[in-house]
Structure 1
């Protein structure tokens, strides 16, 4: 029985090493993609015009999008305002034209086009949002770093932190490669991914620490593999159920939630992999051992 368990741990160790090499390649490729392609910033960051219109309730979103794409020669976001016939149109400002031109553009669909309101988001506001979003991401990483440093020894903490960086870079690279619009909704998804990925990494790291203390003479590669083996079912259940939920949101949420759902789906999937690969292999490479968690007795001497 012990031999069988040893063989399982040996195979799991090889799988961890291969996945860690794969993760490093993904991380380096993702950084290269971001540097080469950049991002397709949405109107939240670049500025533009947001117009709310009221049309015939029978008109569908696809009809509006197709007509606007033909006439404006740019991507126009069409979002339901929550009431039949009311739509929010978001597009870049190309000239000094006013909101009344929307009536002319939408005239082929219906004669009854009512512009409820129209507002302009300037580039300065978009730049402030981009800076605030970057600061929010930096603040989240710093808070996570502080927590990990307090919760674990720095070798285990480094594995969890690198796994977080790996997950965020991968998701950002996907949007850079596909040139999907990067807006505040996507940024919110990236922040959510940080918390979810951290959860998996902490569970595995905590198990590694427990085994280090309980079996100090056990080889570190076997300790990391046994920790992954002990938490594998829990990780699959939590990640699987969350993926089903996000997939349902992706399929049924429509265009407004598509980017958020894709980012969450990719983040959860790659986060599960990185917690097993990067999260365990880096502490092992840094020679984490039971000595780092050895409790030193307090001297009674004055």
Structure 2
């Protein structure tokens, strides 16, 4: 494939990314996110029951009785579970958890019951948004210090691209968005940044080594030089996340899906958007020319 054809593919992928990003923003604006109990509040029960009863039986019984998705997490020992579900609305009465699980076992012990109010959920949402904002600001500071601002803009736009895609997927499917998914989003920022920095660093080296080469050709060479490394690292990470997705069960499903989407889009955006945007912003070798130091003191 010649240089012109490579550039055309890169520009085409960048346009596809831009169009999908606009669609993602529209989806998020229209449908919003289905926030989980971590953000909306609810009832938390810790129980102990027979060890031979598995999670699928408990979850099925609870969802059938309460008419809603119920979060079920092992509490660290066989037969001990933490159950979370939405609190009843005003005037609504929910059945007692002992009565709900009675068809499964008669040896049920409720160890602890607590209610997480909407105020606590609102504080968690604010803290999560603040953590995301601080992370992005720190990344912006690092990129501005490490690279010329045009390369930094390309890497930053690639990060925003990846996060918006994950948010759009959870908005479109209305899967529960909880603190575990938010942790995956923060992990995606770091993973995508790593890919973008490697490509940007290669572009900078080539600009300094070959100042007369066209930027489009330098970008293509930089992507080609780092492509095998990117595919190997992304591929092995995807295998690990896929194993976590299929074998980790429902409690880790949101985290695994978010990571899987983030790794795919992170690799795609680093190769296309992260390298193409600086080109359109006018990046050239003159931004990395060494400036002579005056001998006048």
TM-score, with length taken from structure 1: 0.95
Instruction: Provide structure 2 residue ranges, at least 5 long, that are not aligned to the other structure.
Output: none
CA deviation string 1:256-287 (max 9, x = no partner): 11110110111011000000111011001011
Offset at residue 11 of structure 1 (A)? 2.5
Which residue among 44, 64, 86 is the counterpart of 1:92?
A: 86
Alignment of 1:137 onto 2:148? no
Q: Write the deviation string for residues 209-250 of structure 1: whole angstroms up to 9, x where unpaired.
A: 111111111111101001000100111111111111111111
Residue in 1 that maps onto 2:33:
39
How many angstroms apart in 1 are the aligned matches of 2:2 and 2:255?
38
Shift of 1:99: 9.8
Q: Please list every run of 5 or more consecutive structure 1 residues that lacks an aligned counterpart in the other structure.
A: 1-6
The match for 1:227 is 222
| CA deviation vs aligned residue, 1:98-130 (integer Å, no higher than 9, x gap) | 998110111111112110111111111100000
User: Could you tell me how far apart the structure 2 residues matched to 1:158 and 1:15 are?
Assistant: 21
1:253 aligns with 2:228: no
What is the rounded CA distance, in whole Å, between the counterparts of 2:226 and 2:3 in structure 1?
Answer: 13
Which residues of 2 match residues 169-184 of structure 1 at below 5 A?
Answer: 169-184=164-179
| Aligned match for 1:153, one of 148, 157, 161 | 148
Give the conservation status (yes or no) of the 8 Å contact 1:100–1:115.
Answer: no
Instruction: Give the structure-2-normalised TM-score.
Output: 0.97
Q: Please say if residues 88 and 94 of structure 2, whose CA atoms lie closer than 8 Å, have aligned partners that are also in contact.
A: no
Between Structure 1 and Structure 2, how many residues are aligned?
A: 296
Alignment partner of 1:119 is 2:114: yes
Hey, what's the Cα distance between the residues in 2 that align with 1:95 and 1:22? 44
- Paired residues of 1:45 and 1:127 also in contact (CA < 8 A): yes
Taking the aligned partners of 1:296 and 1:95, their CA distance within structure 2 comes to 68
Alpha-carbon offset, residue 65 of structure 1: 1.3
Q: Aligned to 1:124, what secondary structure does the other structure show?
A: helix
RMSD over aligned Cα atoms: 1.5
